[in-house]
């Protein structure tokens, strides 16, 4: 959400968070919060220690789980967007390409990424390959759609000016189509990333040797609420970090934009 | 940009695209690129789907599973809309509420909704409550954010005009703020509906005792690819219907407001 | 010879399923190094005429030739200045001006020289590395004109280039265009709905009617301008005070008025 310059804002925000943490601390002590449903701070602390510096959980410590998940996200995200973005740009530019490919794409598009999971498992088993396939579909669809609309939304006079100035071929792609569609491409990449994170956790919840979803899965099986909570922290942090990374790349790659 | 195509060209190219897709699929299945069990022919999938309408699988027919999914979906989605939209609007109108809720919301929104599955199962079980919570987790953020944006960024000139012409309190809300935020609210509902449906399938795959997701997982367990594909088609078709319906509402509202 | 010839050009558009005639048998010529302004009410097809010369649209019948060749595509030999400037927002002032030169394959050293000349001509020195959004509307349009001039195009096509500017900026730009045009004469087709502007800038004014778009009359300005020696005045308001100017302006206004149908708006 849009941050505004308002001096009371961070104070109230901080106060709210402190109040919640306070409620958690006190509520767990006096039995207001049932530790069977939601862990007490002590339990959470112990689980977090186990996961990070202790014996680990679900066959690994935090770094091996996170690295495994990051590896899959990178594989899925980059292979999907490497195909999806050029495909979307091409469909946006060429009406013929759109007419040819769009019907096929429309068959794939309504299927949520998570609905590919059973098929991926039947075809590729429970290993990394199936997960990359799921992540691929999760990232592919938004990257195509947004690259496509990005090209279509380039203002007409800009297109006409580039034709008048004689832009053709590679120069046209590099100097007009890509920069013109770039804001929309980044919207697509951000959605692709979100899709990847969701698909990753779901796929790992369904069976994995390692990974952030595996921690959650095991903790659910063991009815170990403190570890469920501890396992959600890396999910949020990785989501935050990758989104921040995309934001950073976006700002760096569009220095011409008015507001930054 | 490429020249517009005439009708014939469009139909011809589109048909060719579909033909290539189904042709390659059929060919791959025909030459048994993978065993038929893993890669059925297109019409075998259709046949399987029709068979499931009368013959139950995992305790339910196709429409039975779909019905169970839709019921959960509606519960979760309606709950998300009923809480998310008003909360978002109030946050947009009242600074204090904005200051209180936004940091909480921001700290939670990076968690993929599906990561709530273990807690959902722990708190609400795997029957109706657990999946409902997951749908809620998926659909709630878009509903809230878009209602918030709609309310927060109502153009000042409308509010000023209303004040100049002597409207106050509830009249400003009902006649100015709500209509001005409406397009954004509807957009949020549409995005939330999609996210909720996807979350539901995920939840059912992982922990549920009925539903289209369960049917797919059981099909996967039995290495019956056609059942999995029937499930994917059913999920896709229902999701598409909801999306098209809400898009219709969206463009109707936008047209009515002349945007 | 770089002239623009529209010969019996007709064009039909479809709107809401109905055909309507946008241009009906329009013929006129912009001779080499002549500045021709086309005026008319909105919807008279004046912009369509320019877009046909640019190769952005094509006639249903009749022909459009530039320098004797039939126009079949846009190209840097016919530089267009658009009403909404159409600068590339992701390119600096310098790179916007460089764009067409690169398409033409102009060598680096020569390109740098030409850009420097045009930056100076349009008073843009010091703004080379600014992005368009950092400039005022008037400055943006200077860049757009420099982007066109730097190509040394045979013809310049301008589509209400000052329509989006405020009144003062507009006046300054008109004076500058005249100054630049005197130093580097070009064949210009200039589309506008502002009668003052047309009379002030043009050698000839083509007055169009609408429904269907057709030519009402073509008025020679140059002989009168030369006879009355408008050039001696530096400022537009001094020229606009001259009886000869007022007379021409009134004459064109009358032509536009005659076709005005009160039920149209």
Q: Where are the domains of chain B?
A: 1-33, 39-256
**Does B contact C via 3+ CB–CB distances below 8 Å?**
no
Residues of B in contact with A16 (CB under 8 A): 99-100, 103-104
**What residue numbers bound the domain in which A139 lies?**
63-210
B78-91 average pLDDT score = 92
Q: Which CATH number characterizes residue A142's domain?
A: 1.10.3720.10
Decide if C97 touches A, using CB distance below 8 A: no
Neighbours of B108 (CB within 10 A): 14
Supply the pLDDT for residue C260.
57
If asked whether residues C20 and C146 sit together in one domain, one would say: no
Supply the pLDDT for residue A189.
95
Chain A from 154 to 213: CB within 8 A of any B CB: 154, 159, 194, 197-198, 200-202, 205-206, 213
Nearest to C74 among A164, A182, A255 (CB): A164
If asked whether residues C55 and C144 sit together in one domain, one would say: no
Collapse the DSSP code of C65 into the 3-class scheme (helix H, G, I; strand E, B; otherwise coil) and give the result.
strand
State which residue of chain A sits closest to C130, comparing Cα positions.
Answer: A256
Cα of B11 to nearest chain A Cα, Å: 8
Query: What is the rounded distance in angstroms from the CA atom of residue A209 to the CA atom of residue B220?
Result: 19
Collapse the DSSP code of C104 into the 3-class scheme (helix H, G, I; strand E, B; otherwise coil) and give the result.
helix
Ramachandran assignment for B211, one of left (phi > 0), alpha (psi -120 to 50 degrees), beta (any other):
left
Q: Which CATH number characterizes residue C192's domain?
A: 3.40.50.300
What is the percentage of chain B residues whose pLDDT exceeds 90?
Answer: 32
Query: What is the rounded distance in angstroms from the CA atom of residue A9 to the CA atom of residue A4?
Result: 8
Cα of B123 to nearest chain A Cα, Å: 6
Supply the pLDDT for residue A206.
83
Question: What pLDDT, in 10s, does the model give residues C52-98?
Answer: 998 888 999 899 999 888 888 888 888 899 888 889 988 899 999 99
Does C68 fall in a domain? yes
If asked whether residues C17 and C52 sit together in one domain, one would say: yes
Does C240 fall in a domain? no
Does C56 fall in a domain? yes
C243-264 average pLDDT score = 79
HSE (CB half, 13 Å, CA atoms) of B49? 17
Mean pLDDT of chain B: 87
Please say if the pLDDT value at position C141 is more than 80.
yes
Query: What is the rounded distance in angstroms from the CA atom of residue B45 to the CA atom of residue B226?
Result: 5
Please say if the pLDDT value at position C17 is more than 90.
no
> B39-256 has which CATH code?
1.10.3720.10
Selection from B10, B96, C144 nearest residue A98 by Cα: B10
* For residue A201, cis peptide bond before it (omega within 30 degrees of 0): no
Supply the pLDDT for residue C211.
78
Asked if C90's CB is within 8 angstroms of A163's CB, the reply is no
If asked whether residues C41 and C72 sit together in one domain, one would say: yes
Please say if the pLDDT value at position C264 is more than 80.
no
C226-242 average pLDDT score = 83
pLDDT classification of A176: cutoffs 50, 70, 90: very high
Chain A from 223 to 242: CB within 8 A of any B CB: 223, 225, 228-229, 231-232, 235-237, 239-240
B154-159 average pLDDT score = 78
Nearest 10 degrees: Cα torsion B211, B216, B217, B219: 130
Best of A155, A156, A163, A164 to disrupt the C interface by mutation (most C CBs within 10 Å)? A164
Cα of C201 to nearest chain A Cα, Å: 24
Supply the pLDDT for residue B9.
87
Asked if B202's CB is within 8 angstroms of A198's CB, the reply is yes
Selection from A66, A113, A122, A92 nearest residue A240 by Cα: A66
Asked if B232's CB is within 8 angstroms of A119's CB, the reply is yes
Supply the pLDDT for residue A1.
45
Decide if A252 touches C, using CB distance below 8 A: no
Does A248 fall in a domain? no
Asked if A99's CB is within 8 angstroms of B13's CB, the reply is yes
**What residue numbers bound the domain in which C178 lies?**
4-77+155-218+249-264
Asked if A176's CB is within 8 angstroms of C103's CB, the reply is no
Supply the pLDDT for residue A5.
60
Nearest to A157 among C86, C104, C147 (CB): C86
In this complex, which chains have at least 3 CB pairs below 8 Å with chain B? A
Please say if the pLDDT value at position C265 is more than 50.
no
If asked whether residues C106 and C185 sit together in one domain, one would say: no
| Cβ-Cβ contacts under 8 Å for B81 (sequence gap 6 or more) | B139, B143, B189, B192
Question: What pLDDT, in 10s, does the model give residues B202-239?
Answer: 888 887 788 899 999 999 888 889 999 999 999 999 99
If asked whether residues C11 and C70 sit together in one domain, one would say: yes
State which residue of chain A sits closest to C53, comparing Cα positions.
Answer: A164
Does C236 fall in a domain? no
C113-142 average pLDDT score = 89
Collapse the DSSP code of C37 into the 3-class scheme (helix H, G, I; strand E, B; otherwise coil) and give the result.
strand
Does A238 fall in a domain? no
Query: What is the rounded distance in angstroms from the CA atom of residue C15 to the CA atom of residue A139?
Result: 40
Please say if the pLDDT value at position A234 is more than 70.
yes
Selection from B87, B239, B67, B88 nearest residue B153 by Cα: B88
Domain end: C133, C152, C171, which one? Answer: C152
Neighbours of A32 (CB within 10 A): 10
Please say if the pLDDT value at position A71 is more than 90.
yes
B147-152 average pLDDT score = 89
Buried b (16+ CB within 10 A) or exposed e, C124-159: beebeebbbeebebbbbbbbbbbbbbbbbbbbbbbb
Nearest to A103 among B17, B105, B106 (CB): B17
| Cβ-Cβ contacts under 8 Å for A81 (sequence gap 6 or more) | A139, A140, A143, A188, A189, A192
If asked whether residues C166 and C185 sit together in one domain, one would say: yes
A172-191 average pLDDT score = 92
Supply the pLDDT for residue C217.
87
Residues facing residue C188 across a β-bridge: C35, C156
Backbone angles phi, psi at C66, to 5 degrees: -125, 125
Ramachandran assignment for A141, one of left (phi > 0), alpha (psi -120 to 50 degrees), beta (any other):
alpha
Mean pLDDT of chain C: 86
Please say if the pLDDT value at position C263 is more than 60.
no
Asked if B225's CB is within 8 angstroms of A99's CB, the reply is no
Best of C86, C111, C144 to disrupt the A interface by mutation (most A CBs within 10 Å)? C86
Cα of B201 to nearest chain A Cα, Å: 7
Place of tokens 């009749």: C62
Decide if B66 touches A, using CB distance below 8 A: no
Query: What is the rounded distance in angstroms from the CA atom of residue A201 to the CA atom of residue B117?
Result: 10
HSE (CB half, 13 Å, CA atoms) of A13? 16
Collapse the DSSP code of C4 into the 3-class scheme (helix H, G, I; strand E, B; otherwise coil) and give the result.
strand
Decide if C67 touches A, using CB distance below 8 A: no
Cα–chain center distance at A62:
19
Backbone angles phi, psi at C159, to 5 degrees: -105, 95
Number of domains within chain A? 1
Q: Are A135 and A75 in contact (CB under 8 A)?
A: yes
Residues facing residue C218 across a β-bridge: C206
Decide if C163 touches A, using CB distance below 8 A: no
Query: What is the rounded distance in angstroms from the CA atom of residue B26 to the CA atom of residue B32?
Result: 10
pLDDT classification of A33: cutoffs 50, 70, 90: confident
Supply the pLDDT for residue B95.
83
If asked whether residues C202 and C88 sit together in one domain, one would say: no
Token pair recorded at residue B151: 């309310």
Query: What is the rounded distance in angstroms from the CA atom of residue C151 to the CA atom of residue C118?
Result: 10
Number of domains within chain C? 2
If asked whether residues C128 and C256 sit together in one domain, one would say: no
Does A81 fall in a domain? yes
State which residue of chain A sits closest to C80, comparing Cα positions.
Answer: A164
- Look up the pTM and report it: 0.85
Q: Are B151 and B95 in contact (CB under 8 A)?
A: no
If asked whether residues C148 and C93 sit together in one domain, one would say: yes
If asked whether residues C136 and C160 sit together in one domain, one would say: no
Decide if B115 touches A, using CB distance below 8 A: yes
If asked whether residues C205 and C167 sit together in one domain, one would say: yes
Decide if C130 touches A, using CB distance below 8 A: no
Collapse the DSSP code of C164 into the 3-class scheme (helix H, G, I; strand E, B; otherwise coil) and give the result.
coil
Does A104 fall in a domain? yes
Please say if the pLDDT value at position C259 is more than 70.
no
3-state per-residue secondary structure call for chain A: CCCCCCCHHHHHHHHHHHHHHHHHHHHHHCCCCCCCCCCCHHHHHHHHHHHHCCCCCCCCCHHHHHHHHHHHHHHHHHHHHHHHHHHHHHHHHCHHHHHHHHHHHHHHCCCCHHHHHHHHHHHHCCCHHHHHHHHHHHHHHHHHHHHHHHHHCCCHHHHHHHHHCCCCHHHHHHHHHHHHHHHHHHHHHHHHHHHHHHHHHHHHHCCCCCCHHHHHHHHHHCCCHHHHHHHHHHHHHHHHHHHHHHHHHHHHHCCCCCCC
Does A40 fall in a domain? no
């Amino acid at each position: 959400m849009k941050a505004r310059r308002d001096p009371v804002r961070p104070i109230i925000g901080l106060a709210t968070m402190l109040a919640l943490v306070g409620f958690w601390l006190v509520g767990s002590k006096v039995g207001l919060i049932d530790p069977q449903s939601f862990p007490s701070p002590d339990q959470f602390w112990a689980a977090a220690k186990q996961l990070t510096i202790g014996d680990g959980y679900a066959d690994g410590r935090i770094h091996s789980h996170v690295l495994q998940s990051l590896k899959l996200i990178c594989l899925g995200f980059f292979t999907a967007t490497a195909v999806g973005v050029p495909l979307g740009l091409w469909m946006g530019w060429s009406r013929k390409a759109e007419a040819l490919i769009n019907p096929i794409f429309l068959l794939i598009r309504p299927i949520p990424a998570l609905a590919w999971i059973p098929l991926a498992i039947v075809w590729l088993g429970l290993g990394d390959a199936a997960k990359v396939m799921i992540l691929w579909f999760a990232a592919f669809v938004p990257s195509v759609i947004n690259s496509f609309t990005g090209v279509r939304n380039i203002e007409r006079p800009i297109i006409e000016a580039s034709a008048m100035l004689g832009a053709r071929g590679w120069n046209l792609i590099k100097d007009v189509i890509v920069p013109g569609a770039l804001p929309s491409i980044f919207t697509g990449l951000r959605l692709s990333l979100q899709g990847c994170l969701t698909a990753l956790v779901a796929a790992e919840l369904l069976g994995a040797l390692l990974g952030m979803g595996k921690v959650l899965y095991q903790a659910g099986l063991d009815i170990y609420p403190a570890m469920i909570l501890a396992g959600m922290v890396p999910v949020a942090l990785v989501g935050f970090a990758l989104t921040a990374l995309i934001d950073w790349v976006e700002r760096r790659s569009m220095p011409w934009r008015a507001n930054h | 940009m490429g020249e517009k195509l005439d009708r014939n060209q469009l139909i011809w190219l589109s048909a060719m695209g579909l033909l290539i897709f189904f042709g390659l699929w059929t060919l791959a299945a025909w030459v048994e690129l993978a065993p038929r069990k893993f890669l059925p022919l297109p019409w075998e999938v259709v046949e399987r789907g029709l068979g499931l309408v009368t013959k139950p699988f995992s305790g339910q027919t196709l429409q039975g599973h779909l019905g169970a999914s839709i019921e959960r979906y509606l519960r979760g989605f309606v709950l998300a809309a009923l809480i998310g939209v008003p909360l978002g609007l109030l946050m947009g109108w009242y600074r204090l509420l904005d200051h209180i809720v936004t940091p909480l919301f921001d700290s939670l929104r990076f968690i993929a909704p599906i990561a709530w599955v273990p807690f959902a199962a722990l708190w609400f079980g795997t029957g109706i409550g657990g999946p409902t919570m997951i749908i809620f987790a998926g659909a709630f953020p878009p509903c809230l954010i878009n209602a918030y944006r709609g309310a927060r960024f109502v153009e000042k000139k409308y509010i000023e005009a209303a004040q100049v012409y002597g409207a106050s309190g509830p009249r400003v809300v009902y006649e100015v703020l709500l209509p001005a935020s409406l397009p954004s609210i509807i957009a949020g509902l549409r995005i939330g509906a999609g996210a909720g449906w996807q979350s539901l399938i995920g939840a059912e795959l992982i922990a549920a005792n009925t539903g289209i997701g369960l049917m797919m997982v059981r099909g996967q367990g039995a290495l019956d690819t056609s059942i999995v594909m029937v499930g994917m088609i059913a999920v896709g078709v229902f999701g598409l219907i909801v999306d098209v319906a809400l898009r219709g509402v969206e463009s109707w509202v936008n047209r009515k407001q002349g945007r | 010879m770089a002239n623009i010839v529209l010969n019996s050009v007709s064009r039909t558009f479809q709107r809401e399923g109905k055909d309507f005639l946008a241009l009906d048998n329009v013929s006129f010529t912009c001779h080499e190094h002549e500045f021709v302004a086309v005026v008319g009410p909105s919807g008279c097809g004046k912009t369509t005429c320019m877009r046909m010369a640019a190769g952005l649209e094509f006639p249903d019948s009749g022909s459009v030739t530039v320098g004797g060749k039939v126009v079949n595509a846009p190209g840097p030999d016919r530089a267009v200045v658009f009403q909404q400037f159409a600068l590339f927002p992701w390119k600096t002032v310098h790179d916007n001006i460089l764009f067409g030169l690169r398409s033409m394959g102009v060598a680096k050293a020569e390109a740098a020289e030409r850009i420097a000349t045009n930056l100076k001509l349009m008073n843009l020195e010091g703004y080379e590395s600014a992005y368009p959004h950092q400039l005022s509307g008037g400055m943006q349009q200077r860049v757009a004109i420099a982007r066109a001039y730097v190509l040394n195009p045979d013809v310049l096509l301008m589509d209400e280039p000052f329509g989006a500017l405020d009144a003062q900026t507009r006046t300054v730009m008109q004076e500058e265009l005249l100054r630049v045009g005197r130093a580097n004469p070009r064949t210009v087709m200039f589309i506008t709905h502002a009668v003052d502007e047309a009379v002030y800038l043009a050698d000839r004014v083509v007055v169009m009617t609408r429904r269907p778009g057709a030519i009402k009359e073509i008025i020679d300005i140059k002989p009168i301008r030369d006879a009355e020696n408008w050039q001696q005045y530096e400022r537009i308001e001094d020229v606009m005070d001259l009886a000869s100017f007022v007379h021409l302006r009134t004459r064109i206004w009358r032509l536009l008025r005659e076709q005005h149908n009160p039920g149209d708006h």
